Amino acid sequence: MNISQYKGSIMTGNMTLCNLLKQGAVLMVLLLVVSQSSFSQSASKTKDDWCATDEVMERYERNNPRVAAERQRKEQQITKLIRRLREEGRVDEYIRNNNVRLKIPVVFHVVYNDPSENIDSTKIKKQIERLNKDFQRLNADTTQTRSVFDSLAAGIDFQFCLASQDPDGNPTNGITRTPTNHGDFGQFDSVKYTNQGGKDAWPQEDYLNIWVCRLGGFVSGYATVPSGLGGLGDGDGIVMRYFDIGGNERTLTHEVGHWFNLYHTFQDSCNGSSNTDCNVWGDEVCDTPQQGSSSAGCDSTLNTCSETPEYPDMIENYMSYADCQNMFTKGQKLRMLVALNYYCERFDLKYSNACGGPPDKGYVKSYPFTENFENDYFAPQFWRLSYVDGRTWQEAEGTGGFGNSQKAAKAEFYTPSQNLNNYSYAMTSQNFDLTGVNKPVAITFSYAYAPSTQSNHDSLFVRLDTNQCGYIYDQIRIWAKGGDGLATAPATQQEFVPQSSEWRRDTIRISNFPSDTIKFAFAAEPKAQGGNNIYVDDINIFIDTFATGRAPSVNANPQQLQVSPNPSNGRFRIRSSLNETKTDGVEMEVYNSVGELVLHENHQINSGGLATTIDLSQYADGFYFVKIFNRNHQLLAKEKLYKLSDRD
């Protein structure tokens, strides 16, 4: 669901400009429009508009349709995953595997025009303490949660800390202070930029940026939500009104909830009240009762929507507008953990050492490295899974490589009645630091696969990944097998579970790395309906100190394709001067931005190079990535495409 569909957005929400006009409050609207800054910061808070996240994100997505399209695609995948987890009874398993203690480095940028706005560090430290208690459910007012909701309440194992290291590696107290001549900043993000009277952000992949300033009007704060495509860059973070920091209010808790992808509890009014559509409509969380509208105060008799089973409005929830907030729910916890894995700008926080952790947090620097998936949780720490249609790699018990262990990683493709054609499921490792390595690196791993039919073409790829977000556009293929070439056991119509003799081991040796820091991605791709499972185990990465001569080199600088028009309404002309593979031809693959393979074609190279046209008109607007490989699976050329339906 697009963030602009929020209940409360400037286009559709409760108590927004349109509603006020309908109610005849013309004078108030004119005052707000003409001079928001004319309202004193000490004015009492109006609970119907104190959070401006909806309006800010609606405006941002309206002005950035590419980001809006990417977020919508991501949200569709999140919805499918959560629905599947609920249907299969695997919610608790997912939470258990992903609920590792996450330290979130926070930097407060205090931007002040008057000394009274330059808030004391004691208030900021108190606010961090408030965040930790609220998220971990250590707050003293948990006793105020009504019994009907008590079993739904959940703590989230996030630990917020003031950053102890700045982006240059220098010690810091996690607070910057910037005097300004700017008046009320309002909701237009100028506080986030030094050249506009504010303060530039610290890198979003390492810090949660919180700006504290004079906002104007009744707004207490607003947040950006995760968006994909690397997030909102320098604008990612939270803006807070200066005197709402350091007290007992939950405004910042509420905004951090948005930052981790939570909607308001009154999202979409009473839509989504049934158990079948609760994770599609409303706040897309099934254990938060729907609310017909936002509500201030603490009225325990409120029940604005009819649903089955019947619940009162959850005025205790941090994502409501009520005055007695004291809880998140298990469903909200699940949604935040899913967002942490789906959106790279949140996932990358796992690597941050800005809270004072080791400088190589999440980085492998000593070799050999081994991963055999025998941990109590899956995926391994710092590894990232990509989900398509609610599916991804998962832990398989009792099936370790060659019978030597109890667990392996499994791409679950055994779906006799479902067509998974052209999906790509990636399991991407943590970072490997190869600084100073001048010998080939060897990767050995075990795999097992049995096709469901002789004509099945499920495939397994190993790729080098040099991009933190794991976009397939930036990945370099180094190994690929499919169909009979991948099979380690005879075809079977039954779900494949490998015996100890049905495993195979392979080794890849590579040199000429595209970067000193790389990841390895194992990508499984089903090519036909009725696929079967692929297993991977016993991954070992080491420096091949006994190698003689050079290992096969990775093409770190593939040619750029000539594409026109770009953007296009779906039809793209592709040209390239490729001439090294005239005999064998090339393979062309097109992926969407979440890694789904949408097009695969074989082409011959003529004397003039490659010239062809591809048609993506049947697919959704957004980014696509086209790649050209030779028959040895070496990447020759690539380019990013952008489809926009309103282009001629």
Q: Sort 243 into a burial class: Cβ within 10 Å, 0-12 / 13-18 / 19+.
A: middle
- H-helix or E-strand containing 21? helix 17-22
Instruction: Identify which of 218, 213, 219, 220 has the alpha carbon closest to the alpha carbon of residue 181.
Output: 213
| One domain for residues 195 and 58 | yes
Q: How far is CA 19 from CA 39, 46, 249, 266, 330, in A?
A: 20, 15, 27, 16, 33
Instruction: Identify which of 408, 378, 117, 84 has the alpha carbon closest to the alpha carbon of residue 240.
Output: 117
pLDDT at 181: 95
Give the structural domain span for 337. 39-264+328-344
The tokens for 595 are 């890694």
Please give the Cα distance from 92 to 86 (Å, whole number): 9
3-state secondary structure 308-369: CCCCCCCCCECCCCCCCCCEEEHHHHHHHHHHHHHCHHHHHHHHCCCCCCCCCCCEECCCCE
pLDDT at 281: 79
Three-state DSSP class for residue 251: helix
Mean pLDDT, residues 87-94 taken together = 87
The answer to whether the beta carbons of residues 189 and 158 sit under 8 Å apart is no
- pTM check: above 0.95: no
Highest mean pLDDT among 402-406, 475-479, 587-591, 603-607: 402-406
Domain boundary residue among 543, 576, 593? 543
Q: Sort 430 into a burial class: Cβ within 10 Å, 0-12 / 13-18 / 19+.
A: buried
Mean pLDDT, residues 499-510 taken together = 92
pLDDT at 556: 56
User: Per-residue pLDDT for 223 more than 90?
Assistant: yes
Amino acid (1-letter code) at residue 62: R
pLDDT at 607: 73
627 versus 536: the higher-pLDDT residue is 536
Band of the pLDDT at 36, cuts 50, 70, 90? very low
| One domain for residues 413 and 500 | yes
Longest dimension (CA), the chain: 83
User: Per-residue pLDDT for 245 more than 90?
Assistant: yes
Domain boundary residue among 476, 510, 543? 543
User: Per-residue pLDDT for 450 more than 90?
Assistant: yes
240 versus 235: the higher-pLDDT residue is 240
| In-domain check, residue 566 | yes
| In-domain check, residue 554 | no
Measured from the Cβ of residue 366, the count of other Cβ atoms closer than 10 Å reads 7
Mean pLDDT, residues 79-91 taken together = 87
The answer to whether the beta carbons of residues 427 and 522 sit under 8 Å apart is yes
pLDDT at 631: 66
| One domain for residues 55 and 175 | yes
The answer to whether the beta carbons of residues 518 and 430 sit under 8 Å apart is no
Mean pLDDT, residues 129-142 taken together = 96
pLDDT at 11: 29
pLDDT at 48: 52
pLDDT tens digit string along 347-384?
888 878 888 776 677 788 889 999 999 988 888 888 88
pLDDT tens digit string along 621-637?
877 888 887 766 677 88
Mean pLDDT of the chain: 81
pLDDT at 594: 59
Kindly report the length of the chain. 648
| In-domain check, residue 404 | yes
Residues 6+ away with beta carbon under 8 Å from 29: 17, 20, 21
Instruction: Identify which of 527, 425, 412, 512 has the alpha carbon closest to the alpha carbon of residue 464.
Output: 512
| In-domain check, residue 106 | yes
User: Per-residue pLDDT for 40 more than 80?
Assistant: no
Band of the pLDDT at 139, cuts 50, 70, 90? very high
252 versus 518: the higher-pLDDT residue is 252
Band of the pLDDT at 553, cuts 50, 70, 90? low
Residues 6+ away with beta carbon under 8 Å from 213: 110, 111, 112, 117, 180, 185, 191, 198, 239, 240, 241, 242
Please give the Cα distance from 562 to 142 (Å, whole number): 60
User: Per-residue pLDDT for 120 more than 90?
Assistant: yes
The answer to whether the beta carbons of residues 51 and 220 sit under 8 Å apart is yes
Band of the pLDDT at 583, cuts 50, 70, 90? low
pLDDT at 407: 95
Q: What percent of the chain has pLDDT over 90?
A: 36
| In-domain check, residue 314 | no
Mean pLDDT, residues 268-282 taken together = 71
The answer to whether the beta carbons of residues 408 and 449 sit under 8 Å apart is no
| One domain for residues 528 and 582 | no
34 versus 497: the higher-pLDDT residue is 497
| In-domain check, residue 288 | no
The answer to whether the beta carbons of residues 175 and 107 sit under 8 Å apart is yes
User: Per-residue pLDDT for 505 more than 70?
Assistant: yes
8 versus 263: the higher-pLDDT residue is 263
User: Per-residue pLDDT for 109 more than 80?
Assistant: yes
| One domain for residues 628 and 564 | yes
Band of the pLDDT at 16, cuts 50, 70, 90? very low
User: Per-residue pLDDT for 549 more than 50?
Assistant: no
Q: Which residues of 181-220 are buried (b: 16+ CB within 10 A; e: fewer)?
A: ebebbbbebbbbeeeebbbebbebbbbbbbbbbbbbbbbb
The tokens for 97 are 């595997």
Band of the pLDDT at 274, cuts 50, 70, 90? low
| In-domain check, residue 229 | yes
313 versus 25: the higher-pLDDT residue is 313
User: Per-residue pLDDT for 47 more than 50?
Assistant: no
| One domain for residues 97 and 230 | yes
Residue 615 is part of a domain; what is its CATH number?
2.60.40.1930
Catalytic site positions: 255
Please give the Cα distance from 316 to 325 (Å, whole number): 4
Domain boundary residue among 312, 344, 376? 344
User: Per-residue pLDDT for 327 more than 90?
Assistant: yes
Mean pLDDT, residues 107-111 taken together = 98
| One domain for residues 508 and 481 | yes
| One domain for residues 475 and 589 | no
| One domain for residues 155 and 96 | yes
Highest mean pLDDT among 76-80, 325-329, 364-368, 603-607: 325-329
| One domain for residues 379 and 525 | yes
| One domain for residues 58 and 158 | yes
Please give the Cα distance from 297 to 46 (Å, whole number): 11
pLDDT at 1: 36
Amino acid (1-letter code) at residue 487: A
Phi, psi at 199, each rounded to 5°: -140, 130
| In-domain check, residue 109 | yes
Band of the pLDDT at 113, cuts 50, 70, 90? very high
Bridge-based pairing state of the strands 534-543 and 407-411: antiparallel
pLDDT tens digit string along 375-434?
888 888 888 888 777 778 999 999 989 988 999 999 988 876 666 666 678 899 988 988
| One domain for residues 99 and 146 | yes
pLDDT tens digit string along 456-503?
678 899 988 766 565 554 577 888 888 888 999 999 989 999 999 999
Residue 231 is part of a domain; what is its CATH number?
3.40.390.10
pLDDT at 153: 97
The tokens for 430 are 């943590």
Mean pLDDT, residues 106-116 taken together = 96
Highest mean pLDDT among 223-237, 427-441, 593-607: 427-441
Query: How many domains does the chain divide into?
Result: 3
Highest mean pLDDT among 35-44, 46-55, 509-518: 509-518
User: Per-residue pLDDT for 44 more than 50?
Assistant: no
Q: Kindly report which listed range (183-192, 274-283, 599-608) carries the lowest average pLDDT score.
A: 274-283
Residue 383 is part of a domain; what is its CATH number?
2.60.120.200
User: Per-residue pLDDT for 10 more than 70?
Assistant: no
Residues 6+ away with beta carbon under 8 Å from 187: 52, 55, 56, 215, 219, 222, 239
CA dihedral 371, 507, 590, 380 (to 10 degrees): 0
Would you give the end-to-end CA distance of the chain in angstroms?
27
pLDDT tens digit string along 511-521?
777 778 888 99
Residues 6+ away with beta carbon under 8 Å from 184: 36, 37, 41, 214, 215, 216, 217
pLDDT at 6: 34
Instruction: Identify which of 641, 448, 451 has the alpha carbon closest to the alpha carbon of residue 535.
Output: 448
User: Per-residue pLDDT for 8 more than 50?
Assistant: no
DSSP labels for 57-101?
A: HHHHHHH-HHHHHHHHHHHHHHHHHHHHHHHTT-HHHHHHHH---
The answer to whether the beta carbons of residues 237 and 224 sit under 8 Å apart is yes
